[in-house]
């Protein structure tokens, strides 16, 4: 389903400033998926431009992968109030947009528990499963998902930072 900038499929539409669509190269073979927009993203309409975004930028730069070469998106396109985790009915309402964004990708990098669980449809312990691959069906097509840490975890956790860095390295070596 094409993203609707006036979307009102769930209650997040009542509190958001704007819908935050994917950014970067929309035709990239690789998509990075986060949780949902924060305050800065809601203000500017771009994903990952706040503190977590700066961390992601830094790790991408350190691994020599230009942000412009990948697509970056979120599980939900509207900011959850107080930056709480999106609720199951909200991720469910947004899933058709996500599925459409990801259906042509060769690799989907799911960053953090929300993205991993939403795409895999099961509970995930990122600390145990980071840098493993899983197969999922999106719109009847088999897709490969790389599970990894969310950039915000990397702000205070060295294991997370090294884990996300390793994921980015794998992406650069295999795809760019």
157, 62 Cβ separation under 8 angstroms: no
Stretch that binds ligand URA, among 1-9, 34-42, 133-141, 156-164 (CB under 6 A): 34-42
Stretch that binds ligand URA, among 4-12, 29-37, 126-134, 138-146 (CB under 6 A): 29-37
Count CB-CB contacts under 10 A for residue 101. Answer: 23
- Build a one-symbol-per-residue string for 36-75: x at contacts with ligand URA by CB under 6 A, - elsewhere: xxx--x-----xx-x-xx--------------------x-
163 makes contact with ligand URA (CB under 6 A)? no
The two three-digit tokens of residue 106, written as one number: 């060769």
164 makes contact with ligand URA (CB under 6 A)? no
d(CA 128, CA 10): 32
24 makes contact with ligand URA (CB under 6 A)? no
d(CA 129, CA 105): 21
């Amino acid at each position: 389903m094409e993203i609707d900038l006036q979307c009102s499929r769930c209650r997040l539409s009542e509190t958001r400033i704007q819908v935050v669509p994917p950014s970067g190269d929309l035709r990239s073979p690789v998509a990075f998926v986060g949780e949902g927009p924060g305050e800065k993203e809601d203000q500017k309409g771009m994903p990952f431009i706040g503190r977590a975004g700066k961390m992601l930028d830094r790790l991408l730069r350190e691994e020599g992968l230009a942000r412009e070469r990948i697509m970056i998106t979120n599980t939900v396109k509207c900011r959850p109030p107080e930056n709480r985790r999106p609720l199951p009915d909200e991720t469910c309402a947004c899933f058709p947009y996500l599925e459409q964004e990801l259906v042509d990708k060769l690799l989907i990098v799911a960053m953090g528990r929300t993205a991993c669980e939403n795409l895999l449809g099961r509970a995930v312990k990122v600390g145990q499963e980071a840098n493993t691959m899983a197969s999922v069906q999106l719109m009847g097509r088999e897709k490969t998902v790389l599970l990894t840490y969310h950039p915000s975890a990397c702000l205070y956790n060295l294991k997370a930072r090294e884990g996300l860095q390793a994921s980015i390295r794998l992406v650069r070596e295999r795809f760019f």
